[in-house]
């Protein structure tokens, strides 16, 4: 679960990471009253879950009320790399002397948390790091020991920042690690960490991803909702507990287990087709899950054929067949279906489908055969 | 021979009194696995169809000589259960549970790495050695004894590939699901090393997918240490790139993690990569003879 900047900063503040005061708002009027409260100048910041907000014109300094009105009006509703801005963060402006970069991330390769720090923060950090890899200092943290003071000192000294900010930067890194662990984050990134003219250090941005599997330990975080641009299919899938990823083709894909569904997408693409989605009805798919999945997929108007590819382990093919028959009654689909049912109770499942004589439904024996058939039918 | 589980396996199931735990424990027992104990705190003294239930792993190990644990408890209790089994001295722990918090997995991995216990999973279908033992939820009826070792990150895809192999007459020494989580207890390398040492295994099939770099690491290991033929499958060539938050991930992993990068790394070390599960089975026929 990705958090908006201001939501991340709320978690930072809870753990003592210095952040600037600010207010989240959704209208120009709210933006003005927030700025009046905070005092001018303020920064008007688009709240969307994507980088490059500054370059896209989604972050503006405002010296007075008119400027806030103008910028808030322009940024609200703006589209940044495909995401519509529906929320703003109005923040007290900072006088900036230096911009650094700090992050904690899961290093899957080493199976340890990794701390990252660079004195070249701000825009283009990826390009700068590609050119000068030495600028990004990185070290692994033993999760059983935690982040030690020496880790912070080492990163700060090696990055070559001025001596007067070594201690506050080290302290901030320690607190960010505390956020990373105690909030169950899989990413905590601050770009930039700024040194202000008074030489105080502040987290000017926050990119935080919380582990969805750990939300039961963080009920307050779980309630942080984003007014985001989910498609109706995504919203419906989430409500029904299905994993759905929209793609831009016209062949609806439904399977059980992420690996098999990914493999199905690949096989359909090799047969010359374009998948419209990834949908994993999960292991142990019951009849209702199949009905819901069919509804979700067909609610996308671009879908001109649907492929159901099931290999039953825990999942029983007869239950899948029952779900599919129920879905046909509820949805009355107008597009052709290609079905491949194999594994546990496969013959029973195929027999149920044959008996039901569903209109425009084609049963295929193999995954490859099913992929070729659905590509042919989708046109 | 087989790897990890066989007729010497003495299994203790954590969460045996739950619905799924009971179902699969009995399923494993009827396959021939010695299911000697279960653990459910507070239900010690009861039994599940004759399998004694204990309050702690320590008691179960002392009373029954259990050497393998299967963890079936809900995610919020699973890390604790794995650590308890390791503390009780169980050699192999197979964690089926899906949805364990990543930081819990991180702590468990880094702790277990310092001790003798081996973890397979979590979020995996378990380990099946056909004809010998089944520990987990793999539908055993599709597989028979043979000389192909399979290691996979995905459950259903394992069944698909195993089934394609079976249709061409191949059986399996063992099938190991290592699970799809970011911090798996056992890596491809750990399991491939076991297959390399297992006299029954003549071909190793690796089934990977996008994300992380465990396939790339395995490729390097295979190039240096594996004499047996390896055939690979990678799922996710057409998967959409995930929307990445921030720069840290890109800076750390670079171009690693894509299906193409994984296939390239494997092919560079002489591993043949099948582009479909069917193609994997076709390559197996070429390597081992039909």
Question: Per residue in A65-116, pLDDT tens?
Answer: 999 999 999 999 999 887 889 999 999 999 999 999 999 999 988 999 999 9
**Tens digit of each residue's pLDDT (9 = 90 or more) over B93-141:** 999 999 999 999 999 999 999 999 999 999 999 999 999 999 999 989 8
Give catalytic residues of A, as residue numbers: 101, 189
Looking up tokens 């790139």 gives: B241
Q: Which of A217, A266, A282, A316 to mutate to test the interface with B (most CBs of B within 10 A)?
A: A266
Residue A16 and residue A172: Cα distance in Å, rounded?
8
In the predicted structure, residue A260 carries a pLDDT above the cut 60: yes
Mean local confidence (pLDDT), A371-375: 96
Residue B38 and residue B53: Cα distance in Å, rounded?
5
For A313-347, the DSSP string reads SSS-HHHHHHHHHHHHHHH---S-EEEEEEETTHH
Which DSSP letter does residue B20 get? H
- A53 against A230, higher pLDDT: A53
Specify burial of residue B258 (Cβ count, 10 A radius: 0-12, 13-18, 19+): middle
Determine how β-strand B10-14 pairs with β-strand B68-71.
Answer: parallel
Q: Give residue limits of the domains in chain A.
A: 1-19+95-227, 21-93, 232-378
Output the six-digit token pair for B80: 């604790």
In the predicted structure, residue A284 carries a pLDDT above the cut 60: no
Mean local confidence (pLDDT), B284-289: 91
| Confidence grade of residue A222 (pLDDT, cut at 50, 70, 90) | confident
- Chain A, window 320-349: residues with a beta carbon less than 8 angstroms from a chain B beta carbon: 342-344
Say whether A21-93 and A1-19+95-227 share the same fold. no
At what angle are helices B188-197 and B214-225 packed, to 10 degrees?
30
Output the six-digit token pair for A204: 């000017």
In the predicted structure, residue B239 carries a pLDDT above the cut 80: no
Q: Of A106, A255, A257, which has the smallest distance from its Cβ to B182's Cβ?
A: A106
B103 touching A, CB under 8 A?
yes
CB B226 within 8 A of CB B203: no
Q: What's the pLDDT at B176?
A: 97
| pLDDT mean across residues, chain B | 93
Residue A136 and residue B254: Cα distance in Å, rounded?
14
Mean local confidence (pLDDT), A280-297: 81
Q: Where are the beta strands (DSSP E) in chain B?
A: 10-14, 34-39, 47-48, 51-54, 68-71, 92-95, 118-120, 126-129, 133-136, 145-152, 172-177, 203-209, 230-235, 272-274
State phi, psi for B224 to the nearest 5 degrees. -90, -35
Q: Where are the beta strands (DSSP E) in B4-108?
A: 10-14, 34-39, 47-48, 51-54, 68-71, 92-95
CB B166 within 8 A of CB B159: no
| Confidence grade of residue A137 (pLDDT, cut at 50, 70, 90) | very high
Q: What's the pLDDT at A91?
A: 97
Looking up tokens 């059986």 gives: B171
Q: What's the pLDDT at B198?
A: 98
Give the lowest-confidence range in A120-129, A244-253, B77-86, B263-272: A120-129
Cα→Cα distances A177→A141, A148, A216, B76, B211, Å:
10, 10, 20, 22, 24
Give the lowest-confidence range in A49-58, A353-362, B29-38, B253-262: B253-262
- Chain A, window 31-50: residues with a beta carbon less than 8 angstroms from a chain B beta carbon: 49-50
CATH superfamily of A232-378: Succinyl-CoA synthetase domains (3.40.50.261)
CATH, range A1-19+95-227: 3.30.470.20
Residue B207 and residue A259: Cα distance in Å, rounded?
9
Q: What's the pLDDT at B253?
A: 60
Q: How many CB atoms lie within 10 A of CB A169?
A: 24
Q: What's the pLDDT at B242?
A: 58
Cβ-Cβ contacts under 8 Å, B111 against chain A: 144
In the predicted structure, residue B255 carries a pLDDT above the cut 70: no
| Confidence grade of residue A239 (pLDDT, cut at 50, 70, 90) | confident
- B253 against A350, higher pLDDT: A350
CATH superfamily of A21-93: ATP-grasp fold, A domain (3.30.1490.20)
Interior angle at CA B92, CA A283 and CA A110, nearest 5: 80
| A201-213: burial string, b at 16+ Cβ within 10 Å, e else | bbbbbbbbbbbeb
Q: What's the pLDDT at A229?
A: 57
Q: What's the pLDDT at A233?
A: 78
Name the 3-class secondary structure at A198: coil
Q: What's the pLDDT at A228?
A: 58
| Confidence grade of residue A178 (pLDDT, cut at 50, 70, 90) | very high
Residue B11 and residue B133: Cα distance in Å, rounded?
10
Q: Cβ of B209 and A258 within 8 Å?
A: yes
Give the lowest-confidence range in A69-73, B218-222, B248-252: B248-252
Q: Which domains does chain B have, with CATH numbers?
A: 10-120 (3.40.50.720), 143-288 (3.40.50.261)
| pLDDT mean across residues, chain A | 92
Cβ-Cβ contacts under 8 Å, A270 against chain B: 275-276
Shortest CA distance to B289 belongs to which of B163, B182, B148?
A: B148
């Amino acid at each position: 679960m990705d958090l908006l900047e201001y939501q991340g900063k709320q978690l930072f503040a809870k753990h003592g990471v210095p952040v600037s005061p600010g207010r989240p708002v959704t209208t120009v009027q709210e933006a003005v009253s927030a700025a009046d409260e905070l005092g001018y100048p303020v920064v008007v910041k688009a709240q969307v879950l994507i980088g490059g907000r500054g370059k896209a014109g989604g972050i503006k300094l405002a010296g007075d009320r008119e400027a806030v009105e103008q910028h808030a009006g322009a940024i609200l509703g703006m589209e940044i790399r495909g995401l519509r801005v529906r929320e703003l963060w109005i923040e007290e402006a900072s006088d900036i002397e230096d911009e650094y970069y700090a992050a904690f991330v899961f290093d899957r390769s080493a199976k340890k948390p990794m701390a990252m720090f660079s004195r070249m923060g701000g825009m283009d950090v990826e390009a700068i790091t590609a050119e000068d890899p030495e600028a990004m200092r990185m070290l692994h943290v033993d999760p059983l020991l935690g982040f030690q003071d020496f880790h912070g000192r080492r990163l700060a000294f090696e990055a070559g920042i001025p001596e007067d900010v070594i201690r506050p930067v080290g302290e901030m890194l320690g607190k960010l690690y505390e956020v990373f662990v105690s909030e169950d984050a899989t990413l905590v990134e601050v770009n930039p960490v700024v040194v202000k003219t008074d030489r105080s250090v502040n987290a000017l941005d926050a990119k935080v991803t919380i582990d969805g599997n750990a939300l039961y330990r963080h009920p307050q975080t779980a309630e942080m909702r984003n007014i985001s641009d989910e498609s109706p299919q995504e919203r419906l899938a989430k409500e029904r507990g299905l994993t759905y990823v929209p793609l831009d083709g016209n062949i609806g894909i439904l399977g059980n287990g992420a690996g098999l569904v990914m493999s199905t997408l690949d096989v359909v693409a090799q047969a010359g087709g374009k998948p419209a989605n990834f949908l994993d009805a999960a292991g142990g798919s019951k009849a209702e899950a199949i009905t819901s999945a069919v509804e979700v997929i067909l609610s996308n108007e671009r879908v001109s054929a649907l492929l159901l590819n099931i290999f039953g382990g825990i999942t029983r093919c007869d239950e899948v067949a029952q779900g599919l028959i129920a879905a046909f009654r509820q949805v009355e689909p107008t597009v052709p279906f290609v079905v491949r049912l194999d594994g546990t109770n496969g013959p029973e499942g195929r027999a149920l489908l044959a008996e039901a004589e569903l209109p425009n439904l084609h049963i295929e024996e193999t995954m490859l055969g099913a992929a070729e058939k659905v590509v042919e039918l989708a046109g | 021979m087989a790897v990890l589980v066989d007729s010497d396996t003495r299994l203790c199931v954590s969460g045996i009194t739950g619905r799924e735990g009971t179902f699969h424990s009995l399923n494993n027992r009827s396959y021939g696995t010695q299911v000697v104990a279960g653990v459910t705190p507070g239900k010690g003294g009861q039994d599940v169809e004759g399998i004694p239930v204990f309050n702690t792993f320590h008691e179960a190990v002392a009373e029954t000589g259990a050497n393998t644990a299967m963890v079936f408890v809900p995610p919020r209790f699973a890390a604790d259960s794995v650590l308890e089994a390791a503390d009780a001295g169980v050699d192999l722990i197979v964690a089926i549970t899906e949805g364990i918090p990543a930081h819990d997995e991180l702590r468990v991995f880094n702790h277990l790495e310092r001790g003798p216990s081996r973890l397979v999973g979590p979020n995996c279908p378990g380990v099946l050695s056909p004809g010998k033992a089944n520990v987990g939820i793999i539908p055993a009826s599709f597989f028979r004894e043979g000389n192909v070792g399979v290691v996979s990150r995905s459950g259903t895809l394992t069944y698909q590939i195993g089934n394609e192999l079976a249709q061409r007459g191949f059986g399996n020494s063992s099938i190991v699901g290592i699970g799809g989580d970011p911090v798996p207890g056992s890596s491809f390398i750990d399991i491939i090393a076991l297959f390399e040492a297992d006299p029954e295994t003549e071909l190793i099939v690796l089934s990977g997918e996008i994300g992380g770099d465990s396939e790339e690491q395995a490729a390097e290991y295979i190039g240096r240490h594996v004499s047996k033929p390896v055939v690979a499958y990678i799922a996710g060539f057409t998967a959409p790139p995930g929307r990445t938050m921030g720069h840290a991930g890109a800076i750390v992993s670079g171009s690693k993690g894509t299906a193409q990068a994984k296939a390239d790394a494997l092919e560079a070390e002489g591993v043949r990569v099948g582009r479909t599960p069917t193609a994997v089975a076709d390559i197996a026929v070429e390597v081992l003879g039909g």
